Amino acid sequence: MANASSIRPVVNLLREFSIPLMAGVVAALAWANISYDSYHHVIHDAIWDFQSLHFLTNDVFMVLFFGIAAVEITSNLAPGGSLNPLKNAVNPLLATVGGVLGPIGFFFLLNVFLGGPQLLRGWGIPTATDIAMAWLVARVVFGAAHPCVSFLLLLAVADDAISLAIIAIFYPAPDLSPHPLWLLLVLLGALIALFLNRFRVKNYWPYLILGGVCSWLGLHQAHLHPALALVFVVPFMPHKNSAPAETVFDQPENRAPSTLLAFEHDWKLIVDFGLFLFGLCNAGVKFSAVGPITAIIFLALLLGKTLGVAGFAYLGNALGFNLPKGVGPKEVFVTGLVAGVGLTVALFVAGEAFADPKLQDAAKMGALASSAIGPLAFVAGRVLKIKRKTEPAA
């Protein structure tokens, strides 16, 4: 496995810095601004009279993306996870509430001055934090061992869970009325997964094929977004809190010790690199597409996330739910700033929020612009003289 050993550091570096996603975003922006008609044809037209690349990416591939997110949420809720017992997570969970309500409040406030009724549907776009990008920025700003990094990760996982619910409830398929009866198939998928768990089925494939397909069909036929299908299945996979192997290059004896973590181990590499397609299919907007909704979304993420996270974290501290040791006012402020990087999920919601292509593109520009919050957080960390912590305390 000499070749695998030499490739592994490169693969891990690409994943750590979200290079596939960023490469897809850059490629989409370049392509759309050089030849928008060509871009639109390849991305949105049916392939061999089947489905478009956009559908296959957003409605099929993203099932795996949100499935991996569900793994993170489930692991954090399990015994030994950072959300268990819940008293350990009260402050970051309160900060999560602020990180959702803050952007929504700023969205509506800014819309009064900059927008209009036609933009109101975009309120859900600035609610989520890009887990991968925010984690990367936090490690650069605070250092890998700083308590703010785990605080932020917990916050990001929780507010992405809320965003999943927002997508499912408030952003059904456009121009189609919901058909709630089909949600019984989603329930059936979850019950199948529970049944498999009770009979100690350790292989994750039955969970994906039986439970996942039922859930996907139920959401699709109910005119809700089917990308959330595995969110109702993954929590039932047998699991325990042990760190999974880092990549597919690890030896079999080092592989994940539970069904849940085996699923994450086997698919996370594919998801991380597959995000290139997500970026390619969703970030292709013209620079001329900038409009009021662009500024509203960017400012809602920048101001709403920062003030919402910091304000609710301070409130929790005042109520007796203490901040982690080593986390003070300036660290919480910068953590809220980092949480404003909404890129991935914000792009996803922007694609669902507006049927009008012009509004959709302008909204996506706001989501893309939030990536600039990362460098801003780095500057804030230096100005506020935040001490980086790269090694755990002895």
| pLDDT tens-digit series, residues 237-248 | 998 754 443 433
What is the C-alpha to C-alpha distance for residues 27 and 282, in angstroms, rounded to an integer? 11
Residue with tokens 């009325």: 177
175: left (phi over 0), alpha (psi -120 to 50) or beta: left
Fold classification of 2-171+225-383 is: Na+/H+ antiporter like fold (1.20.1530)
Mean pLDDT throughout 297-312?
97
Residue 46: φ, ψ to 5°: -65, 145
3-state helix, strand, coil in the chain (%, to 5): 75, 0, 25
Residue 155 has pLDDT above 60, yes or no: yes
Residue 151 has pLDDT above 90, yes or no: no
Residue 274 has pLDDT above 90, yes or no: yes
Domain ranges of the chain: 2-171+225-383
Residue 20 has pLDDT above 80, yes or no: yes
b/e sequence 3-36, b meaning 16+ C-beta within 10 Å = eeeeebeebeeebeebebbbbbbebbbebbeeeb
Residue with tokens 């975009």: 122
One-letter amino acid at 202 equals K
Residue 101: φ, ψ to 5°: -70, -35
* pTM to 2 decimal places: 0.79
- Cα dihedral 146/148/151/156 (nearest 10): -120
- Cα dihedral 11/15/17/22 (nearest 10): 110
Q: Are 141 and 334 a contacting pair, CB within 8 Å? A: yes
Cβ-based neighbour number of residue 375 at 10 Å: 11
Which pLDDT band holds residue 251 (cuts at 50, 70, 90)? very low
| pLDDT tens-digit series, residues 180-218 | 899 999 999 999 999 999 999 999 999 999 999 999 999
What would the two tokens of residue 122 be? 């975009």
